[in-house]
């Protein structure tokens, strides 16, 4: 769409009325604040009581749960390399999974297991019923609520499918960290905790909670991208339902791969279960993420190519995509000791990418007659002024 046509279309739109969105954001914020406070107290009590009971086991469990999550966290952050999300929001997504979702799930799962026991199921059967039916439903729903809150309060940071994958995976990773910590502590001894670390933290972790909630994140990202149509409203429930199904499949059908031989399970049964049940969905998330990365790259190239100096300078696009060029130049500036130059280059790259995404949102929402297009148009003008003031980046 040419700039004159875009301007004419925006002039036909009414001024944006953000009062409804502000009310929703304030309401969600209050609910989240209360929930965070309550669940944080619960999580703190569990951790404190565990430490008082066995400081060595608790410390080992905490360190193991966090350390084994670090590689997954780095991969998730590496995926988010074109249009980086705010660190505070990424940390909030992780903490939602680690604190809010785990505490809500713990209460509901324990209640469900108690009800099953009261109905006559033995301890093992009640535990399996909880794992197969309560856990997938409650845990995926409590984790997906983070995506709802993110969309309600920070929609401008949930741009596309890749953002959904990143935020969803971080929520799931946070959940896995605290859940694993609880499992390790509940073994009651260091030897049992080490064995469980091998199972939960190493062998069965690739397609666990981070993958489950990334699937939900894909659905919320698609919901953001589609912007209109009745089918759009079915996408998030369908994505959460698929995450529940994958979770249910793992918790239920893994038993088919296990025997009474512990070593055989460790080296054959569990790896086979991961390969058959988890890996297909891990590959699904990888494929979707790859396509979303390609989409981001094409958006950056398309929407910046129409810009002129001093907003877009020669070789600016070549410095942005593929992302490894930006990384290599940043590394070269840092290693040469030019920290100021690195900072200016980084700020310019971030502003250019944001400009491309704001123009994309503006075009898409203006074509639908959405008054929110004016908000994006205002931000486009601000970014052009910022880029003009920045001048040329370091050579």
The set of residues, in sequence order, having a beta carbon less than 8 Å from that of 249 and lying 6+ positions away, is: 277
Q: Which whole number is the average pLDDT over 270-274?
A: 97
* Higher pLDDT among residues 395 and 137, named by residue: 137
Confidence of residue 2 (pLDDT cuts 50, 70, 90): very low
Q: Where are the alpha helices (DSSP H) in the chain?
A: 3-11, 19-53, 55-67, 70-79, 87-95, 102-118, 123-129, 135-153, 161-186, 190-196, 209-226, 235-253, 262-264, 270-273, 279-304, 316-320, 323-335, 339-367, 372-390
pTM of the model: 0.90
Q: Are residues 239 and 317 in the same domain?
A: no
Residue 228 half-sphere exposure, CB side, CA atoms within 13 Å? 8
**Least confident range of 6-15, 40-49, 180-189, 200-209:** 6-15
Domain end marker among 284, 319, 346: 284
SS (H, E, C) 156-183: HHCCCHHHHHHHHHHHHHHHHHHHHHHH
Residue 80 backbone phi and psi in degrees, to 5: -85, 65
Q: Are residues 239 and 372 in the same domain?
A: no
Q: Are residues 240 and 337 in the same domain?
A: no
Q: Are residues 205 and 322 in the same domain?
A: no
Residue 289 lies in a domain: no
Q: Are residues 317 and 204 in the same domain?
A: no
Q: Are residues 192 and 48 in the same domain?
A: yes
Q: Are residues 210 and 345 in the same domain?
A: no
Residue 212 lies in a domain: yes
Residue 168 lies in a domain: yes
Tell me how far the alpha carbon of residue 141 is from its chain's centroid: 14
d(CA 226, CA 236): 12
Residue 319 half-sphere exposure, CB side, CA atoms within 13 Å? 23
Domain end marker among 225, 255, 284: 284
Domain end marker among 253, 284, 315: 284
Query: What is the token pair recorded at 343?
Result: 């900072």
Residue 21 has pLDDT above 90, yes or no: no
Q: Are residues 215 and 355 in the same domain?
A: no
Confidence of residue 167 (pLDDT cuts 50, 70, 90): very high
Residue 339 lies in a domain: yes
Q: Which whole number is the average pLDDT over 16-25?
A: 58
Residue 318 has pLDDT above 70, yes or no: yes
Q: Are residues 269 and 321 in the same domain?
A: no
Q: According to the model, what pLDDT value does residue 228 have?
A: 82
Q: Are residues 197 and 331 in the same domain?
A: no
Residue 292 lies in a domain: no
Residue 16 lies in a domain: no
Range of the domain at 374: 305-390
Give the number of domains in the chain. 2
How far is the first Cα of the chain from the last one, in angstroms, to the nearest whole number?
A: 33
* Higher pLDDT among residues 249 and 13, named by residue: 249
Q: Are residues 89 and 219 in the same domain?
A: yes
Residue 47 lies in a domain: yes
Mean pLDDT of the chain: 90
Residue 15 has pLDDT above 70, yes or no: no
Confidence of residue 27 (pLDDT cuts 50, 70, 90): low
Q: Are residues 250 and 331 in the same domain?
A: no
Q: According to the model, what pLDDT value does residue 93 have?
A: 94
Residue 265 has pLDDT above 50, yes or no: yes
């Amino acid at each position: 769409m040419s700039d004159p046509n875009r301007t004419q279309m925006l002039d036909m739109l009414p001024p944006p009325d953000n009062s409804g969105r502000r009310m929703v954001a304030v309401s969600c914020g209050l609910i989240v604040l209360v929930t965070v406070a309550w669940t944080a107290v619960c999580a703190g009590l569990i951790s404190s009581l565990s430490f008082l009971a066995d400081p060595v086991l608790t410390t080992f469990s905490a360190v193991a749960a966090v350390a084994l999550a670090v590689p997954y966290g780095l991969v998730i952050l590496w995926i988010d390399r074109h249009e980086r999300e705010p660190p505070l929001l990424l940390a909030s997504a992780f903490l939602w999974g680690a604190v809010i979702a785990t505490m809500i799930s713990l209460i509901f799962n324990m209640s469900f297991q108690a009800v099953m026991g009261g109905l006559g199921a033995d301890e093992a059967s009640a535990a399996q019923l909880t794992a197969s039916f309560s856990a997938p439903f409650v845990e995926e729903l409590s984790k997906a609520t983070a995506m709802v809150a993110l969309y309600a309060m920070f929609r401008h940071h949930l741009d596309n499918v890749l953002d959904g994958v990143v935020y969803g995976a971080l929520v799931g990773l946070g959940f896995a960290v605290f859940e694993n910590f609880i499992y390790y502590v509940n073994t009651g001894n260091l030897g049992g905790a080490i064995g469980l670390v091998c199972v939960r933290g190493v062998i069965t972790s690739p397609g666990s909670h981070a993958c489950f909630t990334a699937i939900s994140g894909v659905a919320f990202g698609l919901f953001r991208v589609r912007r209109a149509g009745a089918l759009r409203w079915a996408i998030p429930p369908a994505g959460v339902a698929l995450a529940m199904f994958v979770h249910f499949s793992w918790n239920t059908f893994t038993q088919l791969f296990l025997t009474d031989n512990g070593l055989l399970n460790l080296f054959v049964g569990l790896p086979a279960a991961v390969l058959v049940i988890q890996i297909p969905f891990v590959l699904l998330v990888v494929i979707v993420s790859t396509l979303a990365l390609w989409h981001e790259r094409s958006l950056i190239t398309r929407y910046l190519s129409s810009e002129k100096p001093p907003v877009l300078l020669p070789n600016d696009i070549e410095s942005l995509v593929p992302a490894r060029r930006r990384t290599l130049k940043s590394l070269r500036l840092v290693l040469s000791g030019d920290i100021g130059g690195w900072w200016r280059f980084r700020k310019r790259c971030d502003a250019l990418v944001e400009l491309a995404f704001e123009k994309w949102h503006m075009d898409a929402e203006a074509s639908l007659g959405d008054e929110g297009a004016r908000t994006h148009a205002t931000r486009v003008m601000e970014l052009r002024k910022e880029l003009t003031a920045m001048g040329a980046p370091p050579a």
